[in-house]
Amino acid sequence: MADALTREEVEALIKGMADGHVGTKPGAPARDGAQPVSLIAERQDAPRRFPALALVNERLVRELGRVFAMMFEGGVYVERRDPFALDFDTLRNRLVPRSMLGIFTVAPLAGEGLVMLPPALGFEMVDRLFGGPGRVPHDVGDRELSPIALRTVEGIATQVLDAFAAAWAPLVPVECRLVRSESNPMLVEIASNDETVLGFEAVCDLGGGPSAIWIVLPQTALESARARLEEAKVAVRRPDRAWLGALHGAIEQTEVVVSADLGRLELSAREVLGMRAGDVLHLPTRGEDPLSICVEGRPLLSGLAGVSRGRNAVRVVGFHVAEGELGG
């Protein structure tokens, strides 16, 4: 028997055992360990058909981390999970009761998608947004969100969908729009029962424990973007290393003028015309004061004037205050 049984095989097996056509062997020797058997056949062919979905999943986690960090001012942990594929009936049975189930469109893709925010995470987010520490009611599994809290969670779901659209941007520009929300999984219809749906999962922890956020799309919605999704590297713009190496080498060989100003004075034209050999100019800087070292006239470093091997020299002691211009 295979490790994964289809629904038809499970029903046939149960019926056969009930009718007595399938017997058991009570005298069979015990095995060394338990052999796990999955009665639900997860459809792994869909993620393999669209390898670029891994890129979408990775970008989604980064975008969610950025959005939640700004929304809740830090203290947010978001972890990535691999995309999964199930028939819609199986996925609907796995939806957490009392979750905020948002139905959304993904233009220009066809059909509708589903975003799930579990109840504990929803209550925690609402409490934190209203100034609380993130309290979760002890009866969270039996408690519904108030209208104000539901509207707040719908706003959070909109932010999640914006992050989802940003994750898709390198592959296919999409626009996600929340259409409505549901709390009863049985009222959600984004695909037929036996149709394959693909899910993106991110585990979020605001401090009250990890909770999984799901974003689900029917496989049919991805057919219009099949050509782009079948190419795993289509969206990854990688720099031309040969060109970067050549540019780096050319910059290193470029000659630039480096100068150090010992000091500056402002004199009138009359004073300059009246100067004679032997006159002394009193500079405002002292010997121990740092000097500005300029590259092509732009101050980039600071140093101290001195003598090295019988020559006037400047010892570099640090970056100029405008070191940000170097990109460091």
Give a three-class secondary structure readout of 61-130: HHHHHHHHHHHHCCCCEEEECCCEEEEHHHHHHHCCCCCEEEEEEEECCCCEEEEEECHHHHHHHHHHHC
Residue 39 has pLDDT above 50, yes or no: no
Residue 233 has pLDDT above 60, yes or no: no
Residue 24's pLDDT is what? 53
Residue 234's pLDDT is what? 44
Q: Could you report the per-residue pLDDT of 137-158, keeping only the tens digit for each?
A: 777 777 788 888 889 999 999 9
The residue ranges of every structural domain in the chain are 45-229, 258-263+288-328
C-alpha 294/C-alpha 64 separation (Å) is: 43
Look at residues 160, 46, 148 and name the one whose alpha carbon lies nearest to residue 101. 160
% the chain with pLDDT above 90 = 14
Mean pLDDT score, 83-98: 88
Amino acid in position 124: E
Amino acid in position 311: R
> Which runs of E-coded beta strand occur in 219-310?
258-261, 291-295, 298-308
Q: Which of 63-77, 130-144, 218-232, 233-247 is least confident?
A: 233-247
Residue 146's pLDDT is what? 83
Check if the beta carbon of residue 126 is closer than 8 Å to that of residue 146: no
- Name the one residue in this structure whose structure tokens are 């049919």: 220
Where does the pLDDT of residue 308 fall: very low under 50, low under 70, confident under 90, or very high at 90 and above? confident
Q: Could you report the per-residue pLDDT of 153-175, keeping only the tens digit for each?
A: 999 999 999 999 999 888 888 89
Check if the beta carbon of residue 145 is closer than 8 Å to that of residue 129: no
Tokens describing residue 1 = 């028997």
Tokens describing residue 314 = 């400047």
Residue 207's pLDDT is what? 81
Residue 166's pLDDT is what? 92
Residue 8 has pLDDT above 50, yes or no: yes
Look at residues 213, 221, 224 and name the one whose alpha carbon lies nearest to residue 60. 213
Structure-model confidence comparison of residues 39 and 310, the more confident one: 310
Residue 3's pLDDT is what? 54
Tell the CATH superfamily of the 45-229 domain: CheC-like (3.40.1550.10)
